Amino acid sequence: MWGTVATLIPALFWGFFCFGLSAVIPVIAAIGGALVGEVIVSGLMRRFTLWDGSAFLTGLFVGMAMPPGISPFIPATASLFAVSVIKGAFGGLGSNWMNPALAGIAFALLNWPVEMSAWSLPHHLIKVTGITNLDATVTDTLNRNVFSHLGADLPGGYFDLLFGNKSGALGEISAVLLLAASVILIAAKVIRWEIPTYIFGSFAILTWAFGGLSLGNGFFSGDILFAVLSGPFLLVSLFMAPDPVTSPSSKVGMMIFGVGIGILTFLSRTFGSTVGGSAFAVIMMNCAVPTLAKLDTRASQRRASNAVAMTKGAETHGIR
């Protein structure tokens, strides 16, 4: 848990750098709310679990999903709800069926939809209109040296999306820092690579095939890069969807879970009206996890009865 917190700190600090105090306050409020929730639950359950880091991490996730400058009351309530109701009431760490951080974010999205979508631009970009100089330079260099040889031309703007020179939630804007954190966590086997891979794969294919339709561009014209790099998609699919407690552990289960999230995210992004489509997609697939686990159990029962059948054959060969 604490390791995950450590890897998220660079992305968080990029948010602090971009938005200053208006980013620091919501994060502190969210973590504070989570810790208060954990202490209350600990008291009720007579089991002190504050130091396992799970409540702190939930608070951090909730904080990172907040738009900068939001009233600290909202993140504090959201993470208090997440830790005490979604996690604590179901029996604490390991027993909850819904990802607490996502539940907290969804709680805030549903209760304060206006405040939750009041994004603002980073401080150092307020005077810039359109694409930043950094993006223009990098895109230009790449186009001249790499893509021109491949017969392609990269439009401007993607490097702003990648590095986090954009408006968005305070911890979600730097795609590159989130990706780096996830690489560390996957290498350390804290999160599994399968679930993010299936989410990315299904989401990218759907976006490419049908994403252009709503803009009137026809099939196979969707903008995968924009879809992946914008909004809370990276934070949710890299860190919250693979939460082991609320995701399946078998190979088939992970595939169904990941692809389901990809499809639902695509549907709500393209045809829905709410923000935070990926958060709701994961919560919906969380509901399917017990059923997926039941499928695994059935498979292992089949294997067990096959093994018994084999053993019976062996006994006739004279095993004592």
Partner 1 sequence: MKSSRTFRHGGIRVEAGLDWEQRGTARNAFLPNGAVILLKQHAGKQARCVVRRGEYVREGMVIGRADGAFSAQIHSSIPGIVRDIKMISLPEGGQSEAVLVALEGSFDRLGRKGERYLWKSMGRTEIISTLRDRGVVDTAAPGMPIHDLLSDRKEIGLLIVNAIECEPYLRAEECLLRDKGAEVMEGIAILQKVLAPKKIVVTTSQATTIVLPLSKDDGVDVKLVSFEARYPQDMPRQLLEALDGSRKRPMTDALIIKPSTAFAVYEAIVIAKPMVERYVSVSGGAIKRPAVLKTRIGTTIGDLIEECGGFLGPPARLVIGGTLRGHSVYDLDVPITKTTSAVIALSSEEVGSQLRSPCIRCGRCNEVCPERLDPSLLFRLIERGMWSRAAELGLGACTVCGACGYICPSRMPLVAAFSTELQSTQGQALTHVHGENPH
Cβ proximity to partner 1: between 151 and 315 the closer is 315
Q: Does 89 bind partner 1 (CB under 8 A)?
A: no
Q: Please work out the total of residues on this chain that contact partner 1, with binding judged by CB under 8 A.
A: 28
Residue found by looking up tokens 């600990």 in the block: 42
Residue 187 CB coordination number (10 Å): 9
On the 0-12 / 13-18 / 19+ scale of CB atoms within 10 A, 84 is buried
Residue 108 CB coordination number (10 Å): 27
> Structure tokens of 217?
């561009």
Which letter, b or e, does each residue of 147-183 get, where b requires 16 or more Cβ atoms within 10 Å of its Cβ? Answer: eeeeeeeeeebbbbbbbbbbebbbbbbbbbbbeebbe
The one among 244, 252, 271, 272 contacting partner 1 by CB under 8 A: 244
Region of 164-172, 180-188, 269-277, 296-304 interacting with partner 1 (CB under 8 A): 296-304
The nearest distance, CB 140 to partner 1, in angstroms, is 46
Q: Does 114 bind partner 1 (CB under 8 A)?
A: no
The one among 43, 94, 155, 272 contacting partner 1 by CB under 8 A: 94
Q: Does 215 bind partner 1 (CB under 8 A)?
A: no
Asked if 171 and 17 count as a contact pair (C-beta separation under 8 A), the reply is no
Q: Does 318 bind partner 1 (CB under 8 A)?
A: yes
Cβ proximity to partner 1: between 218 and 318 the closer is 318
Region of 62-70, 201-209, 255-263, 300-308 interacting with partner 1 (CB under 8 A): 300-308
The one among 43, 44, 73, 95 contacting partner 1 by CB under 8 A: 95
The nearest distance, CB 319 to partner 1, in angstroms, is 4
Write down the H helix ranges in 67-169. Answer: 73-81, 100-111, 113-116, 133-145, 158-163
Cβ proximity to partner 1: between 38 and 172 the closer is 38
Residues between 27 and 86 that touch partner 1 (CB under 8 A): 52
From the centroid of its chain, how far is CA 304? Answer: 36
Q: Does 141 bind partner 1 (CB under 8 A)?
A: no
Q: Does 307 bind partner 1 (CB under 8 A)?
A: yes
From the centroid of its chain, how far is CA 252? Answer: 21
Q: Does 214 bind partner 1 (CB under 8 A)?
A: no
Q: Does 223 bind partner 1 (CB under 8 A)?
A: no
Cα distances from 54 to residues 48, 49, 67, 153, 233, in angstroms, run 12, 9, 23, 45, 22
Q: What residues make contact with partner 1 under the rule CB under 8 A?
A: 52, 92-95, 192, 244-245, 248-250, 296-297, 300-301, 303-305, 307-308, 310-311, 313-314, 317-320
